[in-house]
Amino acid sequence: MAKKTIQDLDVTGKTVLVRVDFNVPMQDGKITDDNRIRQALPTIESLLEKNGKVVLFSHLGRIKEEADKEGKSLKPIADKLSEHLNRPVKFVPYTRGQELETAITSMQVGEVLMFENTRFEDIDGKKESKNDPELGKYWASLGDVFVIDAFGTAHRSHASNVGIASNIDEVAAGMLLEKEIKFIGGAVENPQRPFYAILGGAKVSDKIGVIENLLEKADKVLIGGGMSYTFMKAQGYEIGTSLVENDKLELAKQLLEKGKDKLILPTDFKLTKEFSKDAPYRVGKRDEFQADEMGLDIGDETLKYYQSLLQEAKTVVWNGPVGVFEFENFAKGTLGILETLASLKDTTTILGGGDSAAAAISLGYEDKITHISTGGGASLEYLEGKTLPGIKVVDDK
């Protein structure tokens, strides 16, 4: 790849600043899903093997005022990371100051240190998330080399990525960021064909840029989820009480015209009268909606058709579930597509973060997909073909 990676670095005896994405779900001070921590382990372990001193930092949640800091310390994450690495991780409960500086300068080769939630700096004027120049320069002064491994924030210019990178001599991609560039960037720029995209989720408006870009790049774009009904209403179908964006109907018509045979919509749905996990349902064709019914999943006919199309693909990108997969009655479409992707032998399968990634992990398909992105918003912007600031600042080889 064109960007410098940690394989290109000599970090022997050096202090390596590593921006990770440990923005993990927490409940009552406990981590409920440590996937993002586990995803960062290869980068951390590689830098330790290369005789570096590793200084880690991340954001956790959104912090606007002092009260928001409650339950947002990275201390439990440092403890969990220590378990995974099977070595101590020193935690410093500050984002700047003498104690942090002394702790870093006294580090030995092979040691790991984590400092406090970078968003704590946002209480006083959004210094972190507005990329305050002084803060980025300060953090850069704490190390010799900078490794960016947080794809989840790569679509933002923050002090903890762009700010540091602008004030340090050497910037490289960690192994997780390298994978994101290889798989998502590669799918958009130079996919093996046929290249099929599956787009689900609630709203057309969330994915306008993605749909437009993929209609140019992909061979077929398969639509599912709540956004289906906006397209259907634009075609003149009755959609009952289904989710719809009435202000996007004209846009949907334009996308249908642009996509022609490339943009594929469901032909049948699971229809119900209430949004409930135990709601009784029936399967109906797209011209069979009653005025008091809503669609909550694709039907069997659509699933079989989508599955047959995917058998042809050499590259598949999927973003957004095709039904309300949290409800067992309406998870069959999402599960069926996951099963198909998991069974494909010579196909690169990529899940673009967000709910489709959560579905794959929760339903046990994590190890059977080529790449599951760790970034929701970042993966969407990357699929749009945008240049992400957190990738742009990585040194070219």
Same domain for 218 and 70?
no
Q: Which residues pair with 53 in a beta bridge?
A: 15
Residue 86 to residue 149: CA distance in whole angstroms? 21
Q: Annotated catalytic, 225?
A: no
Q: What are the residue ranges in the chain where pLDDT is below 70? A: 1
Same domain for 139 and 236?
no
What is the pLDDT at residue 29?
85
Contact 320, 355 (CB under 8 A): yes
Lookup result for tokens 């659509």: 302
Residue 391 included in any domain:
no
Contact 341, 197 (CB under 8 A): no
Residue 388 included in any domain:
no
Residue 377 to residue 94: CA distance in whole angstroms? 28
Both structure tokens of 292: 């008091």
Same domain for 205 and 241?
yes
Which residue among 130, 151, 177 closes a domain? 177
Based on the number of CB atoms within 10 Å of its own CB, is 155 exposed (0-12), middle (13-18) or buried (19 or more)?
buried
The secondary structure of 153-179 as a DSSP string is GTTS--IIIIIHHTTSS-EEE-HHHHH
Q: Annotated catalytic, 377?
A: yes
Q: How many domains does the chain have?
A: 2
Alpha helices for 86-132 (secondary structure H): 98-105
Same domain for 116 and 261?
no
Q: Which of 50, 69, 203, 253 is catalytic?
A: 203
Same domain for 140 and 54?
yes
What is the pLDDT at residue 366?
86
Give the SS3 label for residue 188: helix
Strands 348-351 and 112-115: unpaired
* Alpha carbon distances (Å) from 384 to 101, 188, 356, 357: 40, 8, 17, 18
Local structure of residue 254 (DSSP, 8 states): H
Q: Annotated catalytic, 87?
A: no
Residue 185 included in any domain:
no
Q: What is the CB-side half-sphere exposure of residue 243 using CA atoms within 13 A?
A: 17
Q: Which of 240, 320, 352, 354 is catalytic?
A: 354
Range of the domain at 237: 191-383
Same domain for 223 and 99?
no
Give the SS3 label for residue 316: strand
Helices then strands, each counted (H, E), the chain: 15, 17
Question: What's 74's domain CATH number?
Answer: 3.40.50.1260
Continuous segment of H or E residues that includes residue 112: strand 112-115
Residue 139 to residue 33: CA distance in whole angstroms? 28
Residue 328 included in any domain:
yes
Q: What is the largest CA-CA distance in the chain?
A: 71
Same domain for 311 and 255?
yes
Give the SS3 label for residue 392: helix
Same domain for 242 and 355?
yes
What is the pLDDT at residue 375?
84
Same domain for 165 and 254?
no
Q: Which of 209, 284, 377, 385 is catalytic?
A: 377
Q: Annotated catalytic, 96?
A: no
Based on the number of CB atoms within 10 Å of its own CB, is 88 exposed (0-12), middle (13-18) or buried (19 or more)?
exposed
What is the pLDDT at residue 226?
95
Which residue among 152, 177, 202 closes a domain? 177
Contact 272, 280 (CB under 8 A): yes
Which residue among 149, 177, 205 closes a domain? 177
Residue 39 included in any domain:
yes
Residue 114 included in any domain:
yes
What is the pLDDT at residue 290?
97
Residue 395 included in any domain:
no
Same domain for 139 and 230?
no
pLDDT tens column, 193-230: 999 999 998 889 989 999 999 999 999 999 999 999 99
Position 384: which residue type?
E
The span from the first CA to the last CA of the chain, in angstroms, equals 8
Residue 130 included in any domain:
yes
Contact 197, 216 (CB under 8 A): no
Same domain for 239 and 362?
yes
Alpha helices for the chain (secondary structure H): 35-49, 75-85, 98-105, 133-140, 164-165, 175-180, 186-189, 208-217, 227-234, 249-259, 300-310, 332-343, 354-362, 376-383, 389-392
Same domain for 57 and 150?
yes
